[in-house]
Structure 1
Amino acid sequence: MTAVYALQNTLYVLTPDAYAHLENDTVRIDVEREKRLQVPLHHLGGIVCLGNVLVSPALMHRLADEGKSLVLLDAHGRFKARLEGPVSGNILLRQAQHRSAWDGAFALEFARAIVAGKLKNSRNLLLRAAREAATADEQAQLNRAADNLAASLRAAAKAADLDALRGVEGEAARGYFAALNLVVKPQVREHFTLNGRTRRPPLDRFNALLSFLYSMSMNDCRSALEAVGLDPQLGFLHAVRPGRAALALDLQEEFRAILADRLALTLINRSQLGPRDFDEREGGAVLLNDSGRRTVITAWQERKQEEVTHPLLGIKVPIGIVPFVQARLMARTVRGEMDGYLPYLPK
């Protein structure tokens, strides 16, 4: 089955050697010289291509002209590139962002808020899992892991500098990922065990699933930052490196547990994904195959449509909009309109 389809105003092209091109005012997808899909361009907000997908120059130019995104992911689902038109972000906001990044005290407090959001949301996932644990022993292990995250929160609040804060966050992440195996239902653990966090490439099915979800989350966070005029390359917690969207990685942290990790566990525990949805490659790499990617993308888009009450705004919004809300809070913090950044902490 050809993995080419549109979901929630984003066109996903997953079939190797597919050809995306412009035909009048539509985007046409051909596979082996046969038309597989044709979508009016004005219906799309962007296109995501995974793996070896060909895109015509004419389509690239049209997307850039209309401010629509073209995102390229590799076969692992890892972000590779993004086509952008002229930068139209607020230059005054970006100037304020650069000043803030050079202010050591401001950067540390901003990064501390990011870590706190990540750890609190991760801890809540483990506490919820502990209440539903299969055995008393596993419940105790999950509660201990949650207690360790609480200790990490206290340590993060006292971290003297960014390096110390990153060390606390890294140690907490290792304990958290180790505990995730206990959140997987016993009957499917044979097929889904997280052997540490491996990325490039992922070395087991659980890691492959997480990497793919994190790539989609990263794209959404980057889009949110660009929408409000912030520079996604200049972060506070994540160090600045060429080609690294450090601020998008910062924003993503508070959403890892509540969006990506929780969805991964749902797909695994409900047996919506199984061994058949993954391929193993030479060297030990494990990747989602076309069937698996279709399942994950559909579930991801459905999850983003679920409404939640934002604790700060007090209104219901689709959870897929929350990164855009948080990006605005980041912008207000950088401008000095808020005393400090407030991460998203669902009740």
Structure 2
Amino acid sequence: MSNYHNTLYVTTPGAYLAKDHENVAVRVERQTRLEVPMHHLGGVVCFGPVSASPDLMAACMERGIGVSFLDVNGRFLARVEGPASGNVLLRRRQFRLADDPAACALLARSFVLGKVANARSMLVRSARERADPPPTMQAAATRLADRIADLERAHLTTDAVRGHEGEAGASYFAAFDAMIRSTDPTFRFSRRSRRPPLDAVNALLSFVYALVLHDCSSALAAVGLDPGVGYLHVDRPGRPSLALDLMEEFRPALADRLVLALINRAQVAPKGFVRDQAGGVSMDADTRRTVLVAYQERKQASLTHPITGEATTYAVVPHIQARLLARTIRGDLETYPPFLVR
């Protein structure tokens, strides 16, 4: 699965992607700045005003390389990919289960259990790293443990699962600021804000969440599932609902942990964030590049997968989880086992 390790991120405004033999050529002002062999790539992500030639797009589609377009702040705009792979019977089964309330509730519960358990692990880990952890951390961890117990009860509806998710999210983000060790007021966090992000921490979270969403969409498409038909998230035109489902367990484990590391290690600076006239906060180009490099490095970190027991990396984990989800949808597994950090 080594082809899943590499994603090409293009952030230079006005960049043009072209096919040069078997390479992706990144050109700026008609000068080639970078060439990457296509057989090394699992995806291409373009931020802001970046365009691509028809020849390159066709070559990417033929090779199963998804191309995503996001705005400069990481908000998803569009994704282009080739014909769906996998067995059409798997997708038909996926669609049928989406109309089954009991099946939706069971899958939704697994996604949310993974998210809440990993969020609690984040709080517990952060508390251990502090000589005198704020009491808000332990209080939030206790509330998340209660939510996990509630989610493990039988016969929950999907709406009940969503309710527990909402309560858990409120408790988790109420303690998020306590996990930030920087004393700079730029990195204070009071609440989650999205469109637009209203502070630097939310700008980082939204940006990294968009990167994780791209990887989850690619993983689902690779196993033949439709990223647009989910179980926890309501279907909407253009919304990658199943990818949003799958990424829930990766929000704390991959995205939040990375954001906290970037802030606590002073890898991002207050000057790298800009507030617009509407009050939204975004990153400058240098900060975006710093985040992208850190994200790629994080994806290369080694671990032992808690379900399969295989040695792998964070880059491959979404693909392993997508395979486990496909097996669950086919009926080979009774319940979907979410990825849980240790």
Q: TM-score, with normalisation over the residues of structure 1? A: 0.92
**Higher mean displacement: 51-60 or 73-82:** 51-60
> Which residue in 1 is equivalent to 2:107?
110
Moved over 4 A (4+): none
> Which residue in 2 is equivalent to 1:235?
230
> Which residue in 2 is equivalent to 1:76?
73
Alignment match of 2:166 (pick from 163, 170, 190): 170
Cα deviation, residue 135, structure 1: 3.1
Checking the alignment, whether the CA contact within 8 Å between 2:5 and 2:315 is kept in structure 1 is no
Aligned residues: 338
Distance 1:310 1:157 in 2: 22
Checking the alignment, whether the CA contact within 8 Å between 2:85 and 2:222 is kept in structure 1 is no
Question: Structure 1 pair 161/8, CA: closer, same or farther in 2 (3 Å)?
Answer: closer
Cα deviation, residue 56, structure 1: 1.8
Question: Structure 1 pair 160/9, CA: closer, same or farther in 2 (3 Å)?
Answer: closer
Checking the alignment, whether the CA contact within 8 Å between 1:195 and 1:204 is kept in structure 2 is no
Say yes or no: does 1:265 pair with 2:260.
yes
Distance 1:44 1:106 in 2: 35
Q: 1:111-159 deviations in whole A, cap 9, x for unaligned?
A: 11111111011001101112223535x1x22000101111122233347
Question: Structure 1 pair 10/333, CA: closer, same or farther in 2 (3 Å)?
Answer: same
Say yes or no: does 1:20 pair with 2:21.
no
3-state SS of 1:38 partner: strand
Say yes or no: does 1:291 pair with 2:268.
no
Checking the alignment, whether the CA contact within 8 Å between 2:121 and 2:341 is kept in structure 1 is no
> Which residue in 2 is equivalent to 1:184?
180
Q: Aligned-pair RMSD on alpha carbons?
A: 1.7
3-state SS of 1:259 partner: helix
Say yes or no: does 1:161 pair with 2:179.
no
Alignment match of 2:27 (pick from 25, 30, 34): 30
Checking the alignment, whether the CA contact within 8 Å between 1:26 and 1:41 is kept in structure 2 is yes
**Higher mean displacement: 205-214 or 103-112:** 103-112
Cα deviation, residue 264, structure 1: 0.5
Distance 2:10 2:97 in 1: 39
Cα deviation, residue 109, structure 1: 1.1
> Which residue in 1 is equivalent to 2:274?
279
3-state SS of 1:282 partner: coil
3-state SS of 1:262 partner: helix
Question: Structure 1 pair 342/39, CA: closer, same or farther in 2 (3 Å)?
Answer: closer
> Which residue in 2 is equivalent to 1:39?
36
Distance 1:257 1:65 in 2: 34
- What aligned pairs does 1:121-160 form with structure 2 within 5 A after superposition? 121-133=118-130, 135=132, 138=134, 140-158=135-153, 160=156
Q: 1:195-220 deviations in whole A, cap 9, x for unaligned?
A: 31111111110001011110010011
Distance 1:303 1:296 in 2: 10
Cα deviation, residue 326, structure 1: 0.8
Distance 1:109 1:265 in 2: 31
Checking the alignment, whether the CA contact within 8 Å between 2:5 and 2:300 is kept in structure 1 is no
**Higher mean displacement: 16-25 or 84-93:** 16-25
AA matched with 1:41:
M
Alignment match of 1:246 (pick from 221, 241, 255): 241
Cα deviation, residue 252, structure 1: 0.3
Distance 1:343 1:25 in 2: 37
Q: 1:290-311 deviations in whole A, cap 9, x for unaligned?
A: 1111111111111111111112
AA matched with 1:14:
T
Checking the alignment, whether the CA contact within 8 Å between 2:18 and 2:24 is kept in structure 1 is yes
> Which residue in 1 is equivalent to 2:326?
331
> Which residue in 2 is equivalent to 1:3?
none
AA matched with 2:187:
F
Structure 1, gaps ≥5 residues long: 1-6
Q: TM-score, with normalisation over the residues of structure 2? A: 0.94
Say yes or no: does 1:214 pair with 2:186.
no
